[in-house]
Amino acid sequence: MQVRALEKYGAPIRAVVPGKVFRYEATDASHDTTFWQLEGLVVAEGITVSHLIGVMKELLKGIFKKEVEIRLRPGYFPFVEPGFELDVKCFICAGSGCSVCKKSGWVELMPCGLVHPNVLRGGGVDSEKYSGFAFGLGLSRIAMMKYKIDDVRLFLGGDLRFLEQF
């Protein structure tokens, strides 16, 4: 939605776009073919990775009502440069390792990065003057961490014993 938002509203801009995501993917306890995501975009003059990290930490603190330990790893996504995988320390096992975090203690929560200049230009924004960051926040994963749900497939499994708890 980044280019569409930039085309319609121009820069500077701050936007969040919630929506359902469909993808071709083998499923396991932490991956499904269908999930919900919040796409975020900030474009202004002088935006850096520091702004990205600050906003992500504040956002997660707001959601979980406590300080959240995060780490960034380099990641490749075509629409950002540089791109990162933002991981949070696993809430299910507190970092000791479980099926959700694949024994790593960390859960991938947000692909993110600085908006690629081509995306800015595609949206009609001057990429010399403006920069920005973008992220995709997996809402299903947030719900898993918040409510300690150990299998993402339960959301769409249709089992009323699970669904009626909410």
Task: Please answer whether residues 55 and 42 qualify as being in contact, where contact means their C-beta atoms are separated by less than 8 angstroms.
Answer: yes
User: Which one, 13 or 93, has the nearer CB to Zn ion?
Assistant: 93
Closest residue by Cα to residue 83 from 148, 138, 133, 28: 133
Question: Nearest distance from residue 154's CB to Zn ion, in Å?
Answer: 16
Backbone angles phi, psi at 83, to 5 degrees: -115, 150
Question: Nearest distance from residue 24's CB to Zn ion, in Å?
Answer: 26
Question: Nearest distance from residue 87's CB to Zn ion, in Å?
Answer: 11
Per DSSP bridges, beta strands 131-138 and 106-115 are: antiparallel
User: Which one, 103 or 129, has the nearer CB to Zn ion?
Assistant: 103
User: Which one, 42 or 109, has the nearer CB to Zn ion?
Assistant: 109
Contact set with Zn ion (CB under 5 A): 90, 92-93, 98, 100-101
Question: Nearest distance from residue 138's CB to Zn ion, in Å?
Answer: 15
Strands of the sheet with 13-22, listed across from one edge: 13-22, 34-44, 131-138, 106-115, 80-89, 70-74
User: Which one, 7 or 150, has the nearer CB to Zn ion?
Assistant: 150
Question: Nearest distance from residue 16's CB to Zn ion, in Å?
Answer: 27
Backbone angles phi, psi at 109, to 5 degrees: -120, -40
Task: Please answer whether residues 32 and 152 qualify as being in contact, where contact means their C-beta atoms are separated by less than 8 angstroms.
Answer: yes
Per DSSP bridges, beta strands 70-74 and 80-89 are: antiparallel
User: Which one, 57 or 102, has the nearer CB to Zn ion?
Assistant: 102
